[in-house]
Chain A
Amino acid sequence: MAATRDGYGQALLDLADNEKVVVLEADLGKSTKSLHFRKQYPERTISCGIGEQNMLLTAAGLASSGFIPFASTFAIFTERAFEQMRNGVARPNLAVHLCGSHGGTHTGTDGSSAQSIEDLAIFRTLPNVVVLHPCDDVSTRLLTMQLADLSQPSYTRTARNKTPVMYDGRESEIEIGKGVIIKQGTDVAIIACGVMVSESIKAAEQLISEGISATVIDMHTIKPLDEELIETMAKSCGAIVTAEDHNIIGGLGGAVAEYLSSNIPTPLERVGVKDRFGESGQADEMLDLMEISSPHIASAAIRAINRKK
């Protein structure tokens, strides 16, 4: 078990040899894990105080001068700087890398003000912006390192709490824009991101007793979406479930629905937060309360299968 935010913190250290890499903080470095970089490279770490809007455009200015800025805060507070991201970063296509930690309701007892359930949706609507939501610390680390070579901006959501490691020994499979088949099955494909990948694995195990064989895909890149893989799954399994700790509007489920309905209509069930705010609770309690934990994914899989013609 490890937290994806630790993978982010590690990646910044791994990237530090590249002197163009600079780190920006908004008084949450201890939480997003950029603090390790700050401790070792204070001269390349820019403290923006509690000022997310200023941070985003400072990063844009740095990117315009050839630096590779990595800026982070809580996922929810990246939204404070959404228009700065839109007009100041995405529009001029400046390679600013924004990371929002503590995403989703899984973040827990801080309550609804801290539980971002719309970040993936809003950043996905911005042209040029790559959107990532990795499921474990290994993939977060590798994906973050790949960002440094990207010539466009990105948004990465990480999570506060620990989740199972998926990619130990499978590091070579991790590439921006490519979904990964974590578990192969035949009857239904569960496409998940972030903390919901391990929930989906649990759901797949529960489905075995119902005689159902499920594929589980880690769709760590929400944009650009791996359409090829989705098409393959639609054809081979004929039923699809999406699972995310995010509003069912506009996130991974929305992206997959957009693709399927226009290209290869397939029964689809979306598991996500049902357009409501969260509250204070432990991470596992929140997944149950929001009806997105493994039993809910399993029953969505059965519903999707029953809809096959």
Chain B
Amino acid sequence: MSMSSTELQELARKCRVEIVKMVYRAQAGHPGGSLSEIDLIAALYANYLRVKPDSPDWEDRDRFILSKGHASPGMYAILAEMGFISKQDLESYRVLGGVCQGHVDMKWCPGVDFSAGSLGMGLSFGMGCAISGRLKNSERQIFVMLGDGEIQEGSIWEAAMAAKHHELGNLKVILDRNRIQNDDFCETQMRMFDIPAKWQAFGWSVKEINGHDMEEVVEGLDFLKNTNDNPAILIAHTVKGKGVSYMEDNPSFHGAAPNDEQFAIAMAELGEVVN
């Protein structure tokens, strides 16, 4: 039942369309980091995550924790594709009373397992889920998506150290290495030097991939799924804003919406016909 690379690419393309539509409708939100993460998230949900859209609270489910919770449009798009929420629900993004809150929120949206919005919190929360799995003899695996700017938070490294101390082989990180944060490129804001070496030094198993090459994404997620004796991190090299030319590698589209003209360009580039 697992999807081929071509099918995964098509799934991610559909999600990209929804991401841009959500941000355009709301005239607010975070397209850049949603477009960079989406190939990874789409493949994870389609082929790896053990979850049940019709019973989102199933106790033994794998957990996906979007720690960089501002990139919520990416998660809402895949939740709609999987059937956790409806396509209609996507229209509630940033709208009063909507299930699609500005930042993913477990109180509001089925299929969301963490209330995010403050960076640097998801990995510690994931540790708690991982330890719970161990205590309950559950097979569950915990996947945490982090941003590269986000790992500048000290709490990430507290969690990284603790996860190895507790030998949490069921804890897995995907790092969206898109090289841009809020104000500017990471290189300007806070240089991070050799990120793989840092995680290795904390005792983690590390693999690097191109986060937009579906075959590499699948290889990378295989690595996470099959590394069960050690906490593992997949460092995915990505392009912020991937798929929409003027957003690509552009810090201005971290948290900005396209105007009418830009929206039309995005739809055309993503192969979507809008009437």
Contacts and interface: CB of A to CB of B under 8 A. Distances in A.
A50 interface: yes
B189 A289 contact: no
Contact of A109 (B102, B154, B182): B102
Given A27-B181, A30-B182, A35-B183, A114 B117 contact: yes
A131 interface: no
A285 interface: yes
Contact of B116 (A29, A53, A77, A113): A113
Nearest to B150: A50
Interface centre among B102, B149, B182, by most chain A C-beta atoms within 10 angstroms, is B102
A133 B188 CA distance: 31
B26 interface: yes
Interface stretch (B43-51, B90-98, B228-236): B90-98
B26 A27 contact: no
A280 B149 contact: no
Given A49-B152, A51-B153, A54-B154, A27 B102 contact: no
Contacts of A111: 94, 101-103, 105, 117
Contacts of B26: 109
A151 to B, nearest CB: 30
Nearest to A77: B118
A49 B97 CA distance: 33
B191 to A, nearest CB: 9
Interface in B190-239: 190
Contacts of B95: 280-281
B208 to A, nearest CB: 22
A49 B189 contact: yes
A19 B153 CA distance: 30
A294 to B, nearest CB: 19
A50 B190 contact: yes
A25 interface: yes
Interface in A96-117: 108-114
Interface size class of A (residues with CB under 8 A): 20 to 34
A76 B118 contact: yes
Contacts, number: 88
A31 interface: yes
A282 interface: yes
A113 B28 contact: no
Contacts of B32: none
Interface string A234-257: 000000000000000000000000
A58 interface: no
Contacts of B190: 27, 47-51
A29 B182 CA distance: 9
A16 interface: no
A110 B152 contact: no
Given A25-B183, A47-B190, A280-B94, A113 B149 contact: no
A224 to B, nearest CB: 31
Q: Which of B26, B115, B182: most chain A Cβ within 10 A?
A: B182
B117 A280 contact: no
A110 B149 contact: no
B186 to A, nearest CB: 8
Contact of B98 (A47, A280, A282): A280
B120 interface: yes
B182 A280 contact: no
Contacts of B182: 27-28, 30-31, 50
B119 interface: yes
B96 A113 contact: no
A80 interface: yes
B96 A110 contact: no
Interface string B83-110: 0000000000011111001110100100
B69 interface: yes
A227 interface: no
A280 B119 contact: no
A128 to B, nearest CB: 25
Contacts of B115: 113
Contacts of A110: 102-103, 117
Contacts of B118: 76-77, 80, 113
Nearest to A111: B102
Interface string A23-54: 00101111100010000000000011111011
Across the A-B interface, the 3 shortest Cβ-Cβ residue pairs:
A113-B117, A49-B190, A49-B152
Given A77-B118, A108-B28, 5 more contacts: A27-B149, A49-B149, A50-B181, A279-B97, A282-B96
Interface of B: 26, 28-29, 69, 94-98, 101-103, 105, 108, 115-120, 149-150, 152-154, 181-183, 188-190
21 contacts: A27-B181, A27-B190, A30-B182, A30-B183, A35-B183, A49-B152, A49-B181, A50-B152, A108-B28, A111-B101, A111-B103, A111-B105, A111-B117, A113-B69, A113-B102, A113-B103, A113-B117, A114-B102, A280-B94, A281-B97, A285-B96
